[in-house]
């Protein structure tokens, strides 16, 4: 399974393997769409509809800033 480590801060995100590069975060889009916008390749068989179980995110800190999961995400 492919894995990314990334950090979100303010309105930007950075990938651990490209720490010098930051990307503008569009908060109106999913993380998958944000990655695709910058040609960051991810596996998403269902196109981000939360039905295939391929995309998973483990939040290590900042839970208080997250939206509640929708039923399809559980």
Q: What's the pTM?
A: 0.65
73 versus 27: the higher-pLDDT residue is 27
Mean pLDDT of the chain: 78
5 versus 26: the higher-pLDDT residue is 26
Helix, strand, coil content of the chain in percent (nearest 5): 20, 15, 65
Tell me how far apart the alpha carbons of residues 36 and 22 are, in angstroms, rounded to a whole number.
14
Helices and strands in the chain: count of H runs, count of E runs: 1, 3
Domain ranges of the chain: 6-73
**Burial call 60-70: b when 16+ CB within 10 Å, e when fewer:** eeeeeeeeeee
pLDDT digits (tens, 9 = 90+) for 9-31: 888 888 877 667 888 988 888 88
Tell me how far apart the alpha carbons of residues 64 and 33 are, in angstroms, rounded to a whole number.
22
pLDDT confidence band for 5 (50 / 70 / 90)? confident
pLDDT exceeds cutoff 60 at 55: yes
């Amino acid at each position: 399974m492919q894995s990314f480590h990334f950090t979100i801060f303010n309105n930007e995100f950075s990938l651990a393997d490209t720490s010098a590069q930051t990307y503008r975060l569009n908060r109106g889009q999913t993380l998958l769409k944000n990655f695709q916008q910058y040609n960051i390749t991810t596996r998403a068989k269902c196109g981000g509809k939360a039905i295939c179980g391929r995309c998973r995110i483990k939040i290590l800190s900042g839970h208080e800033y997250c939206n509640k999961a929708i039923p399809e995400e559980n």
